[in-house]
Amino acid sequence: MARRLCTEESLVTVLRPIYPRHTNRYGTLHGGRLAGWMLEAGGMAAMRASRGYTVLGAMDYLFMLSPGRLGENLHVYAWVIGSTTHTLDVLVYAEAHPIGGGGARPVSVSLQTHVAVDGEGRPRPHGVEAGPCSLEAEELAETHRYWLEARRPLVERRREIASSSAPLDAVYRRTSYFFVSPEDTFTLPGVLDASRLFYYIDQMAAVPAIEFTGAPMVTAGFDAAVFASPARVGDLVKLESGITGAGRSSLEVAVRVAAKNPQLEETERTVALLYATMVAVDEEGRPRPLPRRPLLSGERMREYLERRRLREDRRRGVGRIVEQARRLAGG
């Protein structure tokens, strides 16, 4: 019989002071560092609820709502809001608290699916039935249902993504490599953790954006992504990034993550494929027009505009989710 877990009781809180090593030249928190902390908190909530190992299976849009600043304390809250036999769905919300006092400021929000696994990385039933147990949390049930429907097409593409070895379809492509080491693991020993991977993804997304425009760029968010295949300690990970769209002050950058064990495998497998939004900023850290725009085909621009429309549709619902999260956090 499944163990009932109330969303309200599943809360995990992580406190992160923002030190200089976490920030960029403007004194604001690096996007990859923020994403890593959000995923780390989500993984903690999932492991605590499932009483065992978990790995990230999918992530809905991770929105950057405002910058975390040097000297502030970042409070990251994670709740398990739903479950299936093998998965736990987690809402993660972060807000900044100024050291000198004052009101908390929303910084980021994300919805994540974590898969319960055994010590070998195989899916396992976790025996948890998660959901709201009070009127205050009841609205999250609607959010959860909407999320399940919206992510379905992406999850259905999981096998297709994992089996693909095609190079990234983008312009101004860049490639980088690294070997997975034990320090890159967290929620499952021997497996590259998503919180660590997103730091690399953020760095790689910035490379073509900054090199092409010649302007400082900051991360505005990451689109939904499914993690189709794990990368393990000893694997050679390839990161490909390239420009796939351009707005007035922003670039859309696609990032493909692939991995293989050089001693055992000849063909790489795709770990994840996702899009990051990078924004050009001036010396004060404010958005500015792109100083240089990429030449993109009509078809590529149409595909980009459709992704941007979906991104903006999802962002319109973020305010409601933030209010739900703030109430649950007692803010």
151 pLDDT higher than 80: no
Does residue 283 carry a pLDDT above 90?
A: no
Residues 120 and 166 in one domain: no
pLDDT per residue as tens digits for the range 69-89: 999 999 999 999 999 999 999
- Claim to verify: residue 84 and residue 167 sit in the same structural domain: no
Residues 58 and 133 in one domain: yes
- Cβ(145)–Cβ(119) under 8 Å? no
Q: How confident is the model at residue 251 (pLDDT cuts 50, 70, 90)?
A: very high
* Parent domain of 111: 3-153+317-329
Distance separating alpha carbons of residues 207 and 268, to the nearest angstrom: 23
The percent of residues above 70 in pLDDT, for the chain, comes to 100
Residues 275, 322 within the same domain: no
Q: Which residue(s) pair with 252 in the sheet?
A: 245, 277
Measured CA to CA, the distance from residue 204 to residue 175 in angstroms comes to: 8
pLDDT at 147: 77
Q: What is the pLDDT of residues 201-232, one digit of tens each?
A: 999 999 999 999 999 999 999 998 889 889 99
Residue 198, Cα to own-chain centre: how many angstroms? 7
As a whole number of angstroms, the distance between CA 193 and CA 38 comes to 12
Residue 29's pLDDT is: 96
Together in a domain, 209 and 101: no
Element (H, E) at 13: strand 12-17
Q: What's the whole-number mean pLDDT along residues 173-194?
A: 95
Residues 123 and 149 reside in one and the same domain: yes
The pLDDT confidence band at residue 331, using thresholds 50, 70 and 90, is low
- Please tell me whether residues 108 and 174 are part of one structural domain: no
pLDDT at residue 307 tops 90: yes
Question: In the structure, what pLDDT confidence band is assigned to residue 148 with cuts at 50, 70 and 90?
Answer: confident
- Which pLDDT value is given to residue 252? 98
For residues 166 and 130, state if they share a domain: no
Q: Please check whether residues 48 and 110 belong to one and the same domain.
A: yes
Same domain, 216 and 297: yes
pLDDT at residue 162 is higher than 80: no
C-alpha distances (whole Å) from 314 to each of 42, 245, 253, 286, 299 are 20, 18, 19, 23, 23
Q: What is the mean pLDDT of residues 307-326?
A: 90
Judged by DSSP in three states, 297 sits in: coil
Q: Residue 122 above 80 pLDDT? A: yes
From residue 56, how far is each of 137, 273, 277 by CA, in Å?
Answer: 24, 14, 21
The token duo for 283 is 């010396």
> Based on the structure, what is the number of domains in the chain?
2
Give which of 97, 109, 328, 81 is closest to 222, Cα–Cα: 109
**Does the pTM of the predicted model rise above 0.85?**
yes
Across all residues in the chain, what is the average pLDDT? Answer: 92
DSSP summary character for residue 330: T
Higher pLDDT, residue 243 or 310: 243
Pair (129, 61) in one structural domain: yes
Q: Are residues 148 and 213 in the same domain?
A: no
Nearest-Å Rg of the Cα atoms of the chain is 19
- What's the CATH number where 129 sits? 3.10.129.10
